[in-house]
Amino acid sequence: MPRAKDLLLQAVVLGLVAWGLLSLLAEARSRMAAQGIPFSFAFLSQEAGFSLSEGLTYAPGEGLRPFFPSDTYLQALLAGFLNTLKVALLGIFLATFLGLLVAAGRLSANPLARALAAGYVEVIRNTPLLLQLFVWYFAVLLKLPSWENALSWGGVLLSQRGLVLPQVGLGGGVLGLALGLFAGFFLRKRPLWALGALFLGVFLGWVLWGPPLVFAPPQKEAFGPRGGLLLSPEFAALLFGLVVYTAAFIAEVFRGAILAVPRGQWEAAYALGLEGRDAFRLIVLPQAVRIAVPPLANQYLNLAKNTSLGVAVGYPDLFSVYGTVANQSGRSLEAILLVMAVYLTLSLGISAAVNTYNRRVALRWRL
């Protein structure tokens, strides 16, 4: 029975590896204890005492709200995680979009578009991301006008302190808007009627209860905006940097996927009488997506993990907050274990999402 012997050997090896890792961990713990650093996660509930330039955290009873120095280390790490998540999700969305555009450029019949797209991919792909982040932050975004000379259009302020948007709130007339939308939904088969219903709802609501949406433009004060929605240059630098960088790789993934669809598929589509656009949309694209999804998942994971470079441009992402927590609390081993677990969960989450999609588009072989 060679099979049982194999299994036994595997089990023994697995046990030895697990034992080795555990004793390494035990060794680390005892050495730390000898140096007067006990291994414990209790510090997470202590007051952090430092501030974060941006980020929301969860507080029991208050829900999501900005992070305060009187919050705990755990809440600080949570704020860092939410900042990471914000950049990662928005980045994945925008990078996919930009990547598609660039791939279209590379496959375009227009030689200028082709050259531009190829130049973009080569330059971006072959320079380090960290360098690009510095360029975005120090050489582009911080070169915007100073706060005193901030550009301003209708309540929007742009300066090196970031982009300040008016805060949009719901006014009394939002009820009218809701009714209009509701009526419009039922009349969706007749677009003109639907539009009419929508306008009527908004108009009635406005007359009866006031405007549906209220814009609160930010007040410009000597040292910064009061009110308004702030997009910080640190966030923007990290987002632009990641999107532009990852899009170059995504473009190549899409290009490769489209080229990988056999030429015969195009010809078959034309033979069926489909025009160029429809041939692409109905025949080639569905097959290309099937090929593109697995390598695309890799790019999404890279983007999510590269958010940890945020510290280079002053953005308080999870890794940056970890640095501060480790330094201020002295619990670097515990904190890094926690942070690694979080990144692992984030990556596995993204993988799972892409895999689910992959299963939906993958070919099902029937015998």
**Which residues in this chain contact other proteins in the complex, by CB under 8 A?**
6, 9-10, 13-14, 16-17, 20-21, 23-24, 27, 32, 34-37, 49-51, 53, 69-70, 138, 142-143, 146-147, 160-161, 221-224, 226, 233-234, 311-312, 314, 316, 320, 323-324, 326-330, 332
CB of 33 to other proteins, least distance (A): 10
Nearer to other proteins, 32 or 231 (CB): 32
Nearer to other proteins, 101 or 326 (CB): 326
Would you give the end-to-end CA distance of the chain in angstroms?
34
d(CA 160, CA 18): 52
Nearer to other proteins, 72 or 332 (CB): 332
Nearer to other proteins, 36 or 154 (CB): 36
Q: Phi and psi for 213 in degrees, rounded to 5?
A: -120, 140
Nearer to other proteins, 50 or 215 (CB): 50
d(CA 306, CA 319): 10
Residue 213's DSSP bridge partners are 170
d(CA 11, CA 34): 34
CB of 148 to other proteins, least distance (A): 9
Nearer to other proteins, 329 or 358 (CB): 329
CB of 328 to other proteins, least distance (A): 7
CB of 88 to other proteins, least distance (A): 21
Nearer to other proteins, 69 or 210 (CB): 69
CB of 164 to other proteins, least distance (A): 13
CB of 350 to other proteins, least distance (A): 27
Nearer to other proteins, 137 or 245 (CB): 137
CB of 314 to other proteins, least distance (A): 5
Q: In the numeric block, which tokens belong to residue 47?
A: 């007051």
- Taking the CA atoms of the chain, what radius of gyration do you get in angstroms? 27
CA neighbor of 231 nearest in space, from 166, 168, 145: 166
CB of 140 to other proteins, least distance (A): 11
Nearer to other proteins, 22 or 207 (CB): 22
d(CA 189, CA 197): 13
CB of 136 to other proteins, least distance (A): 13
Nearer to other proteins, 67 or 81 (CB): 67
CB of 16 to other proteins, least distance (A): 4
